[in-house]
Amino acid sequence: MPVHPTSIVEDGARLGDGVEIGPFCHIGPRVTLGEGVTLKSHAVVNGRTTLGPRTKIYPFASIGYEPQDLKYRGEDTSLIIGADCVIREGVTMNPGTASGRGETVVGDRCFFLANSHVGHDSRIGNDCVFSNNCMIAGHVTIDDWVICGGGSAIVQYARVGAHAFVSGMTGIGADLIPFGLAFGSRGFLMGLNLVGLKRRNFGREAIHDLRRAYRALFAPEGTLKERVEDVAEEFADNPEVMMIVDFIRAGGDRALCMPETERVAP
C-alpha cells in the first residue's frame, strides 16, 4: 500500500488493496478509497467521501470539501464516486446538503476533464464526460452517457437525459431531453445527438424512429402535452422514444430546452 512520505492520511481513513497515493496529498479521516484507487499528487479528498475501485485523481483536485451553499451548517452529508472514474487537474466535487438529497452521487466510468465542477446534491449517471471547465450547479440530475462540452454550464435542478450532448460554451437553463443536442448561450435544442447514437451502435431503424418522434414532438401544431400523448401512442413499443416521453412526463411543468424558434424560457 504505497503512500508517499510527504502525504497525510488521517486516522480513520480506509484504504483498499492496491491504493497508490503520490506526493503532497491529504486524505481526511472519513474517506474510503476503493481497491486500486490512485491519487497522482497534490490532491485532497475530505469529508464523508467514497471513491470506487480504480478511480484516478490528478493534481490539485479538491474532492469532498463542504458544499458551496450558504445554507450549509456542517451537517453530515456525503459524496459517492463510482468505479473507474478519471478526475483530472483542478476538478472540484462537493457533497450533498441537509436541505437537498444529503449526498452527491457520481456513477462509474465517468471522465472529468480539468477544472470541471460537480455541485452539491447532484446525481451523475455512468459513462459521462465533462470537458474542461464544465460546471453543473447543485441538485442537477444527469443520466448515463451524457457529454458536456468545454465551458458549458447547467443551472441548478436541471435534468439532462441519457445520451444527450451539451455543446461547448452552452448554458443549460432548462431540462434537456434524452438524445438531445443543445447549443447556444441559453441552450436551445438543435436536434438529436446523431453522432453519439451512431457511436453507441444504435441501429438504423432506432435512429429513424427517434428522428420521426423528434419532428412530431417539436412540430408547430398543438401543445407540447398533446404532441407528447400522440407520440406516446404511436411509439408505445419503442423503448428509445419512450425514454423521451417518460422524461418529459416526469418533469411535469418544468421548462424544456426547445428548438430556437419555440424556445421556452426557464
- Could you tell me the end-to-end alpha-carbon distance of the chain, in angstroms, rounded to an integer? 50
3-class secondary structure, 208: helix
Cα(175)–Cα(182) distance, rounded to whole angstroms?
Answer: 10
120 is catalytic: yes
Which of the residues 64, 100, 138, 161 is marked catalytic? 138
Q: Would you state the cell numbers that stand for residue 98, as one nine-digit string? A: 441537509
36 is catalytic: no
Which of the residues 42, 120, 139, 163 is marked catalytic? 120
What are the φ/ψ torsions at residue 241 (nearest 5 degrees)?
-65, -40
Angle at 125 between CA 118 and CA 188, to 5 degrees: 70
Q: Would you state the cell numbers that stand for residue 135, as one nine-digit string? A: 460546471
3-class secondary structure, 197: helix
List strand residue ranges (DSSP E) for 128-226, in order: 129-130, 135-136, 141-142, 147-148, 153-154, 159-160, 165-166, 171-172, 180-183, 188-192
Which of the residues 108, 121, 127, 143 is marked catalytic? 121
84 is catalytic: no
Catalytic positions, written as ranges:
120-121, 138
